């Protein structure tokens, strides 16, 4: 069981869009970055992730679960690009902002803090626990 973080611009694909897909979930498509793709190839069914809104909001707003392994990205014919499917599990009680993560010395090595441009990132178990606590989510 591993933990991840999925970054999205809310005007392109928001938490509400994700929730509307229900348990069927949705492809996390459109990723054109090798590091992000490689992370998705490592994912297993049932892995959990944070759903993060970039730009104006800059906060973790929900919890998602991987519900399909990496497969070709349907938005391109280029065989290099693959993606997983994810489904919404539950919203957070309190959004955890980037500023909060930066302010917590336990999170200073988080990819979210150190590598702001990576759109699909690994999250350590320690980071997962800390942010779930801050978010008021029982995981």
Partner DNA sequence: GCCAACGTTGGC
Per CB under 7 A, residues contacting DNA are 7, 9, 32-35, 54-55, 58, 98-99, 102, 114-119
Distance CA 24, CA 21 (A): 6
Nearer to DNA, 29 or 54 (CB): 54
Pull the structure tokens for residue 4. 């991840």
Nearer to DNA, 44 or 115 (CB): 115
As given in the structure block, the two tokens for residue 108 are: 């200073």
Total Cβ atoms within 10 A of residue 86:
25
DSSP state of 128: H
Minimum CB–partner distance for residue 23 and DNA (Å): 26
Q: Is the Cβ–Cβ distance between 1 and 46 less than 8 Å?
A: yes
Q: Which residue, 119 or 132, is less far from DNA as judged by CB?
A: 119
Give whole-number Cα distances, 110 to 17, 22, 116, in Å: 26, 29, 10
CB of 76 to DNA, least distance (A): 12
Nearer to DNA, 45 or 103 (CB): 103
- Provide, rounded to whole angstroms, the least separation between the CB of residue 6 and DNA: 10
CB of 49 to DNA, least distance (A): 14
């Amino acid at each position: 069981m591993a933990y991840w973080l999925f970054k999205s611009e809310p005007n392109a694909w928001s938490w509400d869009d994700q929730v509307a897909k229900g348990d069927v979930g949705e492809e996390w498509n459109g990723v054109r970055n090798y590091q992000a793709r490689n992370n998705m190839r490592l994912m297993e069914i049932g892995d959990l992730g944070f759903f993060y809104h970039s730009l104006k909001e800059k906060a973790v707003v929900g919890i998602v679960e991987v519900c399909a392994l990496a497969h070709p990205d349907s938005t391109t014919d280029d065989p290099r690009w693959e993606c997983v499917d994810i489904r919404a599990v539950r919203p957070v009680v309190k959004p955890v902002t980037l500023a909060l993560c930066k302010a917590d010395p336990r999170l200073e090595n988080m990819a979210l803090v150190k590598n702001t441009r990576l759109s699909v990132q690994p999250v350590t178990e320690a980071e997962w626990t800390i942010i779930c606590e801050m978010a008021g989510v029982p995981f």
